Structure 1
Amino acid sequence: MTKEESFYIGYITKTKGLKGELQIFFEFDEYQELDLDVIFLELNGKMVPFFISNHKLYENKTGLFYFDDIDHIDKAQPLVKKKAYLPLNKKPERDEDEFFYTDLKGFIAVDETLGELGEIIEVNEYPQQFVATVLYKEKEILFPLNEDFIVEIDDEEHILTLDLPEGLLDIYLNP
């Protein structure tokens, strides 16, 4: 399997105990719906399958996992900080009318006052809010994605119209 044939679900944060148990932090929103019998870890640029013998999911977007053949902390330790993936055919189906802030990646951000800001290159979830990243005037700028700033989301044209607070971009442009 290649990276293009998979989708990112999270990464291994740490080991737990001496028997090779690993903790995964999920960056995939619907992690409880994932079919977790095998996951792929990116090791030296290759997607390597790891079969899951046992796991437990938690409300804080983490889970504890035992993999087949990983039965000691010494075998588990090299997997810490590795990114975890699942094949595309295991991605949970969504209703057509479901929309997440993370779907805005690739949209063009347009401010009502400043005009076009650029393509949204990343959407990150932080406690309390989602934040979009745009390359504007050769600088990375961040702005919160919330109902107060979003004027319109044009799903067909992939345009996000915003009304950002005055001075927000000055923080990035005039340090």
Structure 2
Amino acid sequence: MIQVGTIQKAYGKGGELVVRLWDNFPENPKDIYGEPLWVEMDSLATPLFVGSLQSLGTSKAVVVFDDFESEQRAAMLIGKKLYSKNPQQPQEQTQDDWDFLVGYKFMDTTSGVKGEITDFIGNELNPLMEVTTGGEAYFVPVADELVEHLDERRRTITMNLPEGIFDINEQ
């Protein structure tokens, strides 16, 4: 694990905390949702899931951690160092990087379509996932830039797909 920040102080009464972010903290806050950050509590590595994060300039953020949404609970974290198991390293993407999504709940913010990912088609040139909704199956392109939010803990993915993707079956 590598240190990615330090919890400095409380910031309000709803469990908000000011966190000093190190340079190796993910640049895109969406990258940390669904992935735990870690603190040491009672000599044990304890996972913390980010409920919300709001940037305060370039090196600080206001963070609320799931299950620490009260002033009293959040106070337990003040002064703790934050760690990440996954340092930000560019990695080559393989076809198998997406097949773990089978079984995840799916939502498209463009069309409002909700469903479940039922298959992954690992074509090198055009990887697709099959989304089943309302008894119909649709093929959805797989690309990082289309993903708005991925939550591995809740097994959900929210995407922003081009208009018309779900109209194809109607033609």
TM bin (shorter chain) = 0.3 to 0.5
Q: Which has the higher contact order (CA 8 A, sep 6+)?
A: 2
Q: Radius of gyration: which is bigger?
A: 1
